[in-house]
Structure 1
Amino acid sequence: MPSTASNRLHIVVLSAHELDDQMDLGRDTISFAVDRGSESPGLGRVAVVVTHGHRGKVGITHLGWVKSGPRRTNLDSTWVLSAVHELSDPISFSEIEAELGRSSGGVLKAARSRRGGALTLAGSSKLRAALQSRVAENEWPGIDGTPEWMTPRIDGNIRQDHTNAIGTALMFSDMDIGEMRYAPLPGESPLRQLRLSPSEASLIDNDLRNFPGMNGEPHAEDIVRFTDEEHTLDVMNVNATGIEAATGVDLIYFSHDYDCYVLVQYKRMDSEAGARIAGVDARLPNQLRRMVAFDALSHMQSGGPEPTTFRLGAGATYTKFAYPVVSPQKESDLTNGMYVPSELLKRLHDGGHLIGPRGGAAITHSNLRRWLSNSQFAALVKMGWVGSSGLSAADINDFVSSSLTDGRIAVIAAHSSAS
């Protein structure tokens, strides 16, 4: 039976910009300093993540797992946040203040602290009940099971326990373990030693075969079909079907529900001095010109007054700056990275804003300033908030055929909902 302390919740306070930056960088954990007087989460507690957004807007936006980390200085302690899970709808404190009752003062005090803090048992109980009534059944850990977002943390703990047990056994054995240090792990290919990081084609291929929250199975020789209880997503390699690649275009999504296309080109980012950076090659201006031309074509072919043709904007093309992350990702994850609308990227390029740290042309987090995360992009595409309006397959085929071939991979994805 869990102890009283383990039933208590911790509030973690971060700025929305800080959290987005860490998530977009593909970090599995987020470490930060807290005041020495803050009560320690010990080996770990469920974290209610409060973010401070633009114009001082505060709300509960994520769940996670927080534990104590190694101290950085004699003045501060360290907390480590992991398994961060974004709620589908943020929850404001004004919305739940009445339900918190007498505990509202303590909960709000923790939420207004520099980095948060521990809640009392009563406060934890009240906040837990308020949140459980607003999130999906499978989002909150309980006796009925562990939510999917906590699986990486549990798997990591199990692996660490196994490692510790095996290490202890070997320490007391008479075996020569020197050669074992350099032996590949079971099931690991020796070829991994020849590859420093995934190639751009590998990053594209990962996104071709994965989509968040959906299961994929080969549908034909060159098609993978993804399904869940409501939607179907077909992914096809156009190059294998004889359609030549359009300059810069790597993925094309088509939503049957909203009759729209979204085109994505890929750029691989490298790590330099601890920061992500992508060079600006000679092809980029022409790629952006063609992609923005497609946006203009989509705008001219407006789908009319039907509600399904409504879009948040005219842009249907994006550039994904993908991170060459070597560590394994969760199943169905897209490659870590950020999506930038082509029109925005073209304005930054034409205005001379894409200057790297050494003075040359380059794309960095600091000169982009804003982008869409994987989860934001996937949600917008699935629900038809972005993409073309009124374009047919023939229009797309004409656009692809008129583009210059530069040897890149083109992919088409078709998405539909179950009726």
Structure 2
Amino acid sequence: MVYVVALSAKELDRIDEELLVKQSFTKTVATASLPADRTPRIALLVTRSSSEDERCPLRWLGVVRQPRGDKVAAVDSRITVELVRESPVPVLMRPLLGEMPLHLRPTLMGALAGEVTVLGDEGSESLLQSLARQDDVLRRMLEFLGEAAEPDPFDPRRAEDRAWQEQYDMTRLGLAIANIPPARLAAWRRPSDPHAPHLAGLIPEPFEQGMIENDARHLDFDTDVFTEAGWSSGDGAAGASFRCDIHVFEHLGSRIEVANINATPVEARLGADLIYYHEATQSFILVQAKRLPSEAGARWMYADRQLLGQLDRLDRVAAMSRAPWAPHEWRLGSDPCFVKLAYWPLKETVDPGPAPGMYLPVPYMRLLLGDAATNGPNEGTRIGYGYVERYLGNTEFAQLVKNGLVGTVGTTLDDLRLLGRERAEEGMSVSLVVDRATAPTREVVKERHKRNHTRGYDKTLAKKVRRNQSRNAGPGQQSLFGS
């Protein structure tokens, strides 16, 4: 099934940078015009036709995973198009009319002249087939979006699904810190191996870089050298059970390399870690996720010996940091390790951001566990909602990391590699994220601060992308969206 969203050329130009930045688009429509079923659909953003002479370029593609949208008024709903991608090849929609059956042409003509039209099954299938015949890259893009529209859901009754869900959340957090839309992880199929990392099921986007990553993802941690990330595992310290899957993500000047590492059977996993390393400043933070019950009113956990032992190990991780020697190395605190008490709503949503939860620095958590506020019945100690008054949420925590205000000082990639291995051997599902930068440290820190504190800075980056695209297009090349 297909949504056709037709906007004027002027409006598409106005929101161009915003679509590049957010890779999502929202539109308010009449609820009565939306489909009755809730099957996710591919969406096409095209230039609206005001006369038969206009050829209506296809500008963007995406998916609507909530076809009924969210109610915003008595008669209106808001739909969201996610995973918005530019059309990889020039496509003019009006000439496609000649490829469709006669009885379907009036419907498509009406869609090109309207605002939001939901095509029926037959019209959708015919249009998608016509688009797929235009170019092989476009065909693969449509196949990718079809997969992304309906990713495999997690089943919390299965141990492997709980482990994948937690590792997925840590990876999403890493992407959010790096200013990369977490929806990039949306296209996912459950791996056949229950012990495999979450990234083993990620469906790569249909471009050359993504396909190279796919070929390189399924690697053995003990024998392969990860040259792009600077990690070597050739010293034989790791066991043959290590499994490491790697993927590269880039967006508006940001580049991160993500490794999901597992070293124990899924039944022996103790939780999930995020280790986020900013290479230019030699700094990392470690977040250990702990799952809370999903039921409202019971979102807490007992502080047992296992939890206390894990806090002790995090103290040893914090000892890897040294004192700051330069202004850019100053941190708000000396501890780079946090515990995230997270929960997943019983009703699965399509929110691409990290799961709800509270972030607690390890020293603060120890204070809480020693305070009367966390006393439960029968001399038990509880930690979670209802027992902790102050904590960091997703947005606050991500901002601290983005600004370099928390994390280690003076830790190397070798330190990172060894730590990732140790955490995996201890039974954690590890998401290792390396934030790369080629500029000098001072320039990286300056640019990071500017990006986080200058309003509209990402749109400025998007404009640079557009200028570079125009500059790289030769004089004989036709504009992608020319009329």
| Richer in strand (by share) | 1
Q: TM-score normalised to the size of structure 2?
A: 0.44
